[in-house]
Structure 1
Amino acid sequence: MIIVTADSGESLAGCLQRVLAEPEVSEVWLVDNASSDGVPQREAAARQSDGRLQLLQQTRNLGFGAAVNRGAMRAGGTHLLILNPDCLLAAGSLGQLLASLQRDPRAGLVGAVVCDAEGRPDPASRRHDPLLRRALATLLRLHGDAGVAVAGAWPPERVVCDAVSGALMLLPRRAWLAVGGFDEGYFLHCEDLDLCRRLRDAGYRVWLDGAVRVEHGKGGSSRHRPVFVSWHKHRGMWRWFRRFDPAARRPWLAGLVWCGLWAHFLVGLPVRWLSR
């Protein structure tokens, strides 16, 4: 299991407590991207008697995907669980996800329905590829299944989808190695979309287990750096578009998308700046 922190806050304690209570967990690599709050070091020291927890300290913020890759290089086992530090696993969730994954020999990844504290599912738990036409439909708030989020009721069991939330991802190690892990060209955001797409392109299936719910605190490290996070989110969107969207092959359209993305960033800048 790999958990990446970057000034993620006190939610890490609850995350680790739930994780280490799961019998399937043989090791946890806590990769800290140069946090200044001291929380990862404190939590690792408090659990030093549990040999499963290892702290991998970085001297600078490498970005989410690069930090996960560092942890994955050291982790053993046949499966990798990537979990955000503000996620709370319910008892038995990991066993259920493993069983779901093992039912399909071509499964490359399984995710869960990520919810807020009130139990409301995050639409990012089950997504279409964010092609330009879908992104525009989402921006224009068009109804139906035209946007990035998948429309309709949440499935009660597992379903195949384009992408799941990067807050929780369980993969067989063979699938992870087949695609080379996360693309480190993304610093923060959209690396999960990229990974799901490359797994599918390699012939694997991406599953969402609708029966598994995980509470997610929505980014402790993001709340005090909204401009930084927004910058990298827009940068990630541009990278994904250039790599995977057929519309990017038209230079004039790619130019319009680039202008639209950064105009969207600039328009939202005052609000994000004031919300720090």
Structure 2
Amino acid sequence: MSDATLAPASIRAETRPSVAVVIVTADSGESLRDCVRQALAESEVTELWIVDNASIDDVPRQVAGEWTADGRVHLLPQTRNLGFGAGVNRGARHTVADYLLILNPDCMLSPGSIGRLLNSLDRLPRAGLIGAVICDTEGRPDPASRRRDPLLARALATLTGRKQVEGVTVQGPWLSGPIACDAVSGALMLLPRVAWQAVGGFDEGYFLHCEDLDLCRRLRDQGYGVWLDGAVRVEHGKGGSSRHRPVFVSWHKHRGMWRWFRRHDPAARRLWLAAMVWSGIWLHFAAGLPSRWLAGWRHRRRPSSGLAGA
């Protein structure tokens, strides 16, 4: 693969870059309204696609209707919940912009965030994807903003606290500029169209969770760089699906972990070890079932609780 193929489209002063935003929602609630408003405030956004995974709260239709006159907002209603990756793929097929921004419906962009990320990509000619530091509502960074591949040895080191082996989470201070990493959070990902097309988008074998790790790994396998810009902070409400449907989310998280392990971890070639990992993943899921079921039951009993989805 040539450097010309690997390089994102050049960002020149005389050529304004265009960005298509794709947001997948499934009963994500009112946060979608603010997410869309703040994304459209960024001058680089030329189109925004809301992929509605069969919501029943009617918010996606309302939000799209509010922006009809703007001309950039499009709604793609689905008859069933396709999952996150498949939903993004559906939306991306309709886009024509130079760059694709994958954004969670509860992510709130700060002014100038997209421009900063584009400038970082332009300085990194082999970059295929860049992310931002995802923060909670208190401004605390999420460690999942920057991760190593969850190889078995690293996952065990993280679980056991072993210091001799590097874990999945990258320790250390957040830098003020771009830094190469294995993976970033799928809550916000900005990619040049050429990189997205090179890997064919998300692997739809993942329904929810680990599809971001898989995308980053496949980009790197194709010779692209994955980067995090530590100077860009994005507020993420995080947890709507987990609060309302914790068992559903946990099931797909564990299923995604198993799929990633089989596809990318050399340890999966040893059948006895793969069998142990499979058993460990699903025993971990089973052990957490009572508490997750109880948490979901309590959330649904709250008068103000609304559906939230993947």
Band of TM-score, shorter chain: over 0.9
AA aligned to 1:114 is I
Give 1:124's match in structure 2, choosing from 136, 140, 144: 144
Which of 193, 203, 221 is the matching residue for 1:201?
221
Q: Which moved more, 1:114-123 or 1:138-147?
A: 138-147
In structure 1, the residue corresponding to 2:183 is in which secondary structure?
Answer: coil
Corresponding letter in the other structure for 1:139: L
Aligned residues of 2:157 and 2:165 also touching (Cα < 8 A)? no
Task: Tell which deviates more after alignment, 142-151 or 128-137.
Answer: 142-151
Q: Distance in 1 between matches of 2:78 and 2:160?
A: 41
Q: Quick check: 1:220 aligned with 2:240?
A: yes
In the TM superposition, residue 93 of structure 1 has moved relative to its aligned partner by 0.3
Give the 3 Å change call, closer, same or farther, for CA 144–155 of structure 1 in structure 2.
farther
Letter in 2 for 1:124: A
Q: Write out aligned runs for 1:19-30 (5 A).
A: 19-30=39-50
- Contact kept in structure 2, 1:7 and 1:220, CA below 8 Å: no
2:288 to 251, 268, 273: 268
Alpha-carbon separation, structure 2, partners of 1:266 and 1:255:
16
- 8 Å contact 2:153–2:165 — kept in the other structure? no
Q: Secondary structure of 1:108's match?
A: strand
Match of 2:307 in 1: none
Conserved 8 A contact 1:112-1:125: yes
| Residues in 2 aligned to 1:173 and 1:219: alpha-carbon distance in whole angstroms | 29
CA spacing shift, 1:252–1:199, aligned 2, 3 Å: same
**Correspondence for 1:16:** 36
* Distance (Å, rounded) in 1 between the aligned partners of 2:177 and 2:125: 18
Is the Cα contact below 8 Å between 1:3 and 1:68 reproduced in 2?
Answer: yes
C-alpha displacement at 1:31, in angstroms? 0.3
Instruction: Say yes or no: does 1:165 pair with 2:181.
Output: no
| TM-score normalized by the length of structure 2 | 0.87
Considering only aligned residues, what root-mean-square deviation do their CA atoms show, in Å? 1.0
Residue in structure 2 matched with residue 137 of structure 1 by the alignment: 157
Given residue 69 of structure 1, which amino acid in structure 2 is its aligned partner?
N
State the 4+ residue runs in structure 1 displaced beyond 6 angstroms.
none
- Aligned match of 2:86 in 66, 84, 87? 66
Using structure 1 for the length normalisation, give the TM-score.
0.98
Unaligned runs of 5+ residues in structure 2 are 1-20, 297-310
Change (3 A) 1:145 1:39: farther
Provide the rounded CA distance (Å) in 1 between the counterparts of 2:292 and 2:162.
Answer: 25
Q: SS at the partner of 2:229?
A: strand
Give 5+ residue unaligned stretches, structure 1.
none
Does 2:177 align with 1:154?
no
* Partner residue in 1 for 2:304: none
Which residue is equivalent to 1:180? 200
Paired residues of 2:139 and 2:235 also in contact (CA < 8 A): yes
- Provide, for residues 179-211 of structure 1, a one-character-per-residue CA deviation record: whole Å limited to 9, x for no partner: 000000000000000000000000000000000
Q: How many residues align?
A: 276
The CA deviation at 1:142 is 3.5
CA contact (8 A) 2:241 2:249 kept: no
Q: Which amino acid aligns with 1:73?
A: R
Q: Does the residue aligned with 1:275 lie in a helix, a strand or coil?
A: helix
Please say if residues 6 and 34 of structure 1, whose CA atoms lie closer than 8 Å, have aligned partners that are also in contact: yes
Corresponding residue of 2:231: 211
Aligned residue in 1 for 2:264: 244
